[in-house]
């Protein structure tokens, strides 16, 4: 059947529109495909029991995952557990926990009005990077476009009330191992992430711990005083899909 000139023009317009839609779809897919996948496997000490007087309650860890460039400049937070991100500790917004994630909070470098670097209730992190502490092993997917290059992925994890023989409950301020109610200090993991055009997967390794009272953001390399803290997490692996 031979189409009229008007019919041919209409057909060509539909064909052009279809090609445009397909092209936009492919373009959109290529952008949305880029993501960072974080897989955290819970370890033996993932859950602990806290005690406050006669009360007992379950404690799950605070965590922060963030990216830096190869020169150590903070880029962005990937995921932060809600209490740390919002400055809200079981409904108590005036409670401040500088010892929870001191390395991450100081690397982030935003100081609250009280002089501490942990987010407060007046200036919380957005919901896009925060979430409740998972009940166990979990996975997060974050849409993220990274330019080709070298990056460092960090994770800091901390469980309160996980005392041991060195960081013992009842030590007095000024004594070695004094930790208030924190127990063992935060444990810090890291891995180098080399981004190019192909998917890459790396697993993080423990490299040190934070200040037990959160007085600064130093990374202390000696892990000899940590016991159960090194079993909060069994494994942490990152996959980047460009």
Cβ contact 204:213 at 8 Å: no
The secondary structure element, H or E, covering residue 184 is none
pLDDT on residue 142: 94
Q: What angle do CA 176, 179, 182 make, to 5 degrees?
A: 155
Q: What angle do CA 100, 93, 180 make, to 5 degrees?
A: 40
What is the edge-to-edge ordering of all strands in the sheet holding 35-42?
138-143, 35-42, 233-241, 200-203
| Alpha-carbon 112 to chain mean position | 20
Query: What is the rounded distance in angstroms from the CA atom of residue 57 to the CA atom of residue 106?
Result: 29
pLDDT on residue 95: 85
DSSP E strand boundaries for 83-212:
130-131, 138-143, 149-158, 187-195, 200-203, 205-209
Residues of the chain with confidence (pLDDT) below 50: 7-8, 10-11, 14, 17-31
Query: What is the rounded distance in angstroms from the CA atom of residue 200 to the CA atom of residue 116?
Result: 36
pLDDT digits (tens, 9 = 90+) for 98-148: 999 999 999 999 999 999 999 999 999 999 999 988 999 999 999 999 999
Which pTM does this prediction carry?
0.85
SS3 232: coil
Residue 20 CB contacts under 8 Å (≥ 6 apart), including other chains: none
- Output the CA–CA distances (angstroms, integers) from residue 179 to 42, 119, 193, in the order listed: 24, 21, 34
Query: What is the rounded distance in angstroms from the CA atom of residue 121 to the CA atom of residue 106?
Result: 17
pLDDT on residue 31: 46
Tokens in use for 8? 């041919």
């Amino acid at each position: 059947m031979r189409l009229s000139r008007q019919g041919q023009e209409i057909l060509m317009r539909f064909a052009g529109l279809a090609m445009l839609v397909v092209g936009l779809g492919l373009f959109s897919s290529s952008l949305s495909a880029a993501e960072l996948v974080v897989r955290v496997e819970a370890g033996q000490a993932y859950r602990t029991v806290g005690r406050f007087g006669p009360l007992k309650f379950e404690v799950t860890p605070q965590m922060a995952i963030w990216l830096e460039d190869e020169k150590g400049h903070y880029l962005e937070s990937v995921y932060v557990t809600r209490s740390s991100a919002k400055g809200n500790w079981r409904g108590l917004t005036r409670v401040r926990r500088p010892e929870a994630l001191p390395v991450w909070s100081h690397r982030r470098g935003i100081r609250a009005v009280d002089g501490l670097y942990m987010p407060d209730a007046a200036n919380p992190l957005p919901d896009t990077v925060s979430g409740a502490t998972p009940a166990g092993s979990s996975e997060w997917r974050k849409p993220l476009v990274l330019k080709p290059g070298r990056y460092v992925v960090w994770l800091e994890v901390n469980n309160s009330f996980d005392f041991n023989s060195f960081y013992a409950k009842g030590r007095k301020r000024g004594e070695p191992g004094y930790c208030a109610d924190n127990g063992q200090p935060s444990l810090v993991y890291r891995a180098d992430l080399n981004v190019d055009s192909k998917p890459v997967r790396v697993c993080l390794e423990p490299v040190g711990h934070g200040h037990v009272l959160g007085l600064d953001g130093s990374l202390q390399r000696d892990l000899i005083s940590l016991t159960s803290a090194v079993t909060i997490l069994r494994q942490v692996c990152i996959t980047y899909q460009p």
